[in-house]
Amino acid sequence: MKQPGSGVSAWAVAAAVGLLSAAVFWPALKGGFVNWDDPAILLTNTNIQTLGWAQLRWMATSYFMTTYQPLGWLALSLIHGAFGLSPQAYHAASLLVHGVNAALLCRLGCRLLSPSCEPERKTLWACAAAAVLWGVHPLQAQSLAWASELPDLLATTFFLASLLAYLRRRTNLSWVLFSASLLCRWKGISLPIVLLAIDAVVLRRHKEGWTRLFTEKAPFFAAALAAVLVNADAKASMAGFGHVAARPYEACVGVLFYLWKIVWPWDLVPLYAIDGAANPLGLSLAAAALAVLGLTALVIVLRRRAPALLAVWVCYAAALAPPLLFSQDGPLFAMDHYAYLSTLGLAPLAASGWLALGRRGRTWAGLAAALITALWTGLSLRQASYWKDSITLWEHVLAVDPGSYVAGTNLGAAFFDEGRYPEGIAAWRRHLQKHPDDKLAAQDLQRGLEALGKSKDQPGQREHNLGIDRFERGQVEEALDHFAKALALDPRLARTHNNMAIALYGQGRFQEALQHCDAAVRLEPRNADFLSDRGTVVARLGRLNEAEADLKKALKIAPEHAKAKQALALLNGIIKRP
């Protein structure tokens, strides 16, 4: 008869951990898309809306959104192919993957604490409780409720699977899974360091000599280095990034910030400016650096009594390095989703700490864990609900951080997309009072005032904006209905024709999309956006030479038009030249 901690029973407990971790964030299923990366990545990205050799080539070569993630794009494309632009489908996939990650973390904890045998009952339950604490933490809400974050979650799945394979002495499989993680998103580049920590603390292999261990990890370090170089190139070429390790003090603030938010997960927002002028901890940069050095010195002093503490600290810092050290000019931001992978090591550390206590200590610690789980569950339910739509999200951000640079502009845009013009203009004006040098917001305000004036004379403009709002929510049929009403009121709305074409293209209605592309180009023949979109549509219809002509026209008008450049490069790889 199997013991409770072995075989099927252990996996059953892990499955329960996964179900609970996913269920806590069920409000995400009620949410739509938000006007923060979702439009570019999901709504208007024609490269994931169909799946063929051309799209696969794009996924394998694209630096779109300053990252290299071919398997991440493939996952998003498969969901679109099965469910279209349904936000619920993307959110459901995120919840499913998160549940798998929590279950894998539970099993990983058991393997770390019982590397040579199946876990005892108390070890299993300790690892399960620790995995639940990680799984229901409010910091995870951003990763689960933001549809664009699915590649990050998948990268974590392969990261955990790679660690489990390594602990089972299947090194080749571990490397393959690690490579898959990097192809989903590159945030797991710290895995070779984690493997060395496991060798030293869990498997006690340091006696074999560090030279041998490092040599053994050479393929892992090579894969990590390749991922760093490719993504550094993507960021440098697409967004002016590339200041690697140029801002270590801000990175120190970030390292401390996540530790604080793990303990005190209140007032969470999508992003926090942690540049020198203002950071959420209120520490001077020198104080932050000294605090990190002090914590590092402490875990080094305690390394003989608690070697796992040093290992987890090193792995935590290494996992945070990519997002905090790859920065661009301007403020550096911390985001909740950076904590998703970097905090994994805290779960087995907490489980081992509980096991080290006496019987009475374990009882009290168990009660405390139950209370914390209940508290975090309530906070997570609320946090996930803030991602219902763009207006709800950015109003929450401004309530927590009235000076938020991103929230002020995005809230104005969200109001405008819903046709609530006066509220949008008021939001932009409030933002400009706090940030008078924001030229982009000033341009948005000017365009908003012009659109408000037009809406009084052009009744179709309001229907157009309602269509945009429904489209961003993933309600494509309602969006098409509003676009059709707008064009019935005013058939000269070129932008409405183009947006209708984009929506129809996403539904695979290519011939209808082309009709609206033609109308948009007739009305505004020198609009690079319209020409680029028409080129994409006619390419899908197999008229490649015509598509090439459209894309070249777009680039002649706007030589730096990113979408047209990418589409033309892809098209040139398809057209066979004599």
3-class secondary structure, 275 = coil
Sign of CA dihedral 415, 416, 417, 418: positive
String of b and e for 335-368 (b: at least 16 CB within 10 Å)?
bbbbbbbbbbbbbbbbbbbbeeeeeeeeeebeee
Q: Where are the alpha helices (DSSP H) in 507-561?
A: 510-523, 528-540, 544-557
pLDDT at 243: 46
Total-model pTM? 0.86
Residue numbers of the chain with a pLDDT score lower than 50: 1-6, 240-246, 577-578
Gyration radius (Cα) of the chain, Å: 25
Residue 29, H or E segment: none
Instruction: Kindly state the tokens that stand for 155.
Output: 């990268």
Q: Which of 532, 555, 569 shows the shortest CA–CA distance to 46? A: 532
Give CA separation, 111 vs 198, 203, 235, 351, 507, in Å. Answer: 11, 11, 37, 12, 46
pLDDT given for residue 3 in this prediction = 44
Whole-angstrom distance, CA of residue 476 vs CA of residue 497: 15
Which three-class secondary structure state does DSSP give residue 357?
coil
The H-or-E segment that residue 525 falls in is none
Closest CA to 330 of 275, 286, 401: 275
Dist CA 92 CA 28 (whole Å)? 8
Q: Give the whole-angstrom CA distance, residue 32 versus residue 29.
A: 8
Q: How far apart are CA 402 and CA 482, in angstroms?
A: 34
DSSP state of 284: -
The CA angle 260-198-132, to the nearest 5 degrees, is: 45
pLDDT at 436: 86
- Residue 246, pLDDT score: 47
Phi and psi (nearest 5°) for 457?
Answer: -100, -25
- The letter for the amino acid at 396 is H
In DSSP notation, 77-89 reads: HHHHHHH-S-HHH
The answer to whether 356 touches 114, Cβ cutoff 8 Å, is: no
Tell which residue, 92, 94, 105, has the closest CA to residue 17.
105
DSSP SS3 for 508: coil
Cβ burial, residue 557 (10 Å; 0-12/13-18/19+): middle
pLDDT (tens digit per residue) in 100-141: 999 999 999 999 998 766 678 889 999 999 999 999 999 999
Contacts with 381 (C-beta within 8 Å, 6 or more apart), sequence order: 24, 25, 26, 27
Note the pLDDT of residue 50.
85
| 129: its two tokens | 């409780």
Helix/strand/coil for 274: coil
Report the alpha-carbon distance of residue 366 to residue 361 in Å, rounded. 8
Q: How far apart are CA 220 and CA 222, in angstroms?
A: 5
| Encoded tokens for 394 | 């950015």
- Per-position b or e across 496-510, b if 16+ CB within 10 A of its CB: bbbbbbbbbbbeeeb
Q: What is the pLDDT of residue 453?
A: 64
What pLDDT, on a 0 to 100 scale, did the predictor assign at position 455?
55
pLDDT at 482: 93
Instruction: Tell me 575's DSSP state.
Output: S
Neighbours of 315 (CB within 10 A): 23
Angstrom distance (rounded) from CA 68 to CA 368: 42
Q: What is the C-alpha separation between 458 and 462, in angstroms, rounded?
A: 8
- Look at residues 224, 64, 37, 227 and name the one whose alpha carbon lies nearest to residue 147: 37
E-only strand ranges, 324-439: 333-335
DSSP state of 335: E
Write the secondary structure of 135-179 as one string of H (helix), E (strand) and C (coil).
Answer: HCCHHHHHHHHCHHHHHHHHHHHHHHHHHHHHHCCCHHHHHHHHH
| Cα 504 → chain centroid | 27
Instruction: Fill in the amino acid letter for 191.
Output: L
**Three-state DSSP class for residue 334:** strand
Q: Locate the DSSP E strands across 36-112.
A: none
* Tokens read off for 34: 């938000």
Q: CB-based burial of residue 484 (10 Å sphere; 0-12 exposed, 13-18 middle, 19+ buried)?
A: middle
pLDDT at 501 (0 to 100):
95
Contact assessment for residue 152 and residue 185, using Cβ atoms and an 8 Å cutoff? yes
- Among positive and negative, which fits the CA dihedral 332, 335, 337, 340? positive
187 with 227: CB under 8 angstroms?
no
pLDDT of residue 577: 47
